[in-house]
Amino acid sequence: MRNKTVFVKEEIQEFKQQLLAWSQQFDDVVWLDSNHHKQQYSSYDAVLAVDAFTAIQTDYVGAFEKLEEYQKSTKDWLFGYLTYDLKNTTEELQSNNYDGLAFPDLYFFQPKKLFLIQGNTVETLYLHAVEEDLENDLKAIERLNSNTLFETVDKIYIQQRIPESAYYEKLKILLAHIHRGDIYEANFCQEFYAENTTIHPLDTYRKLNAISKPPFATFLKLGDKFLLSATPERYLKKEGCKIISQPIKGTAKRASDPNKDEALKQALASDDKERSENIMIVDLVRNDLSHTATKGSVKVEELCKIYSFEQVHQMISTVVSEVDPATSPVSILQTTFPMGSMTGVPKISALEIIENLEETKRGLYSGAVGYITPSGDFDFNVVIRSILYNESKHYVSYSVGGAITAKSTPQKEYEECLVKAKAMREVLEN
């Protein structure tokens, strides 16, 4: 039984910062922030879930079946993540690449304390709590100085897992697969990392979020493991019987001059290569959604629409479907995972080829973070534009990738990776 309290905070930005600072005392934290992007399918401006009452942690073997059992038994709010390597259970594949981060393949928890923020209104849902618990927490939250900054202890030296010359060679192999007809498109990713490094996770997240201000920002803590994400992409949302997917394919840099910026935006909108990438993934998403959709309900609401963010312009499509009310929420996730924008077409062939060419286990990168409600609704992002940190191993990592098609040139793809990596590198190297 959750105790519900609703109150208004006039200084909501200050309260949000204090709330996030207060959350750091807990081992299990998920913070989701829309940065006031008023998108059509937004439910909350920000959400905080902390302090696990129960939890599930597992490797990929039978992961979705275990999650479904957990979701049905709790019938409560669940927060957590799906790593990209759950592909090994959905498609009977393997991941043998290097993993410096060692995140569990799947993790969800039932929070004791939940804050839902919309405008200046804060709704709290405390599990098995008495009134004094919230009163004491609010006093502790309001005492915090949210402006305290923590300087990174170490000088950070970013390394590339795949050197530039090797990247070009790998793309030649990938393009050969495409020209041969094995695949039409594949999302190829590379890792940038630093070893023997200490960062302050909350401060690093704040700096990254300030630069990017994305609609699906995430701070996640699981003991000694952290995700600091400035992702602009939604993976999948369930709202009643409606399912919404919003894949991103197509990226252009921003310019400080408004006229140049508008020209870059228009160039992206009319770029045949970027549009073809996006449309291929839209077709893949339509196919994925059809596994659980009611007949004739899969529709494309937006095709190749340009959205502008602090760092980049993005080409985004919106694909929707309807499901039967009895359809399990976990089965909808399972039949669409991993998301099309981070895989390729055809999906299984692309998964196999990129696994052989990439040199890092993706883990939580290109996975998803989000929540499932007691009624079975859910909302999950795509983990891109993100810094991952294992505090115990002193290992920091961020990965970037891009869609490779027959029209791709290795040098342009490499340059696009650097554009996507810019905010993470700036934050880590100051």
Residues involved in catalysis: 233, 249
Containing H/E element for 208? helix 201-212
| Calculated CA dihedral for residues 154, 156, 161, 167, nearest 10 degrees | 180
Whole-number Å distance between alpha carbons of 167 and 232: 25
C-beta separation of 250 from 271 below 8 A:
yes
How many beta carbons lie within 10 A of that of residue 136, not counting itself?
10
C-beta separation of 391 from 100 below 8 A:
no
Q: CA 207, 137, 117: angle at the middle one, nearest 5?
A: 55
Tell me the longest C-alpha to C-alpha distance in the chain. 67
CB within 8 A of 21, min separation 6: which ones?
144, 145, 146, 148, 202
> With 0-12 CB in 10 A as exposed, 13-18 as middle and 19+ as buried, what is 196?
exposed
Query: What is the per-residue DSSP string for 319-383?
Result: EEEEB-TTS-HHHHHHTTPSPGGGSEESHHHHHHHHHHH--B--TTTTSEEEEE-TTS-EEEE--
Residue whose entry in the numeric block shows the structure tokens 């970013």: 158
Nearest alpha-carbon partner for 79 in 41, 115, 42, 50: 50
Nearest alpha-carbon partner for 307 in 268, 257, 259: 268
Peptide bond into 338 cis (omega under 30): yes
Q: CA 43, 49, 52: angle at the middle one, nearest 5?
A: 145
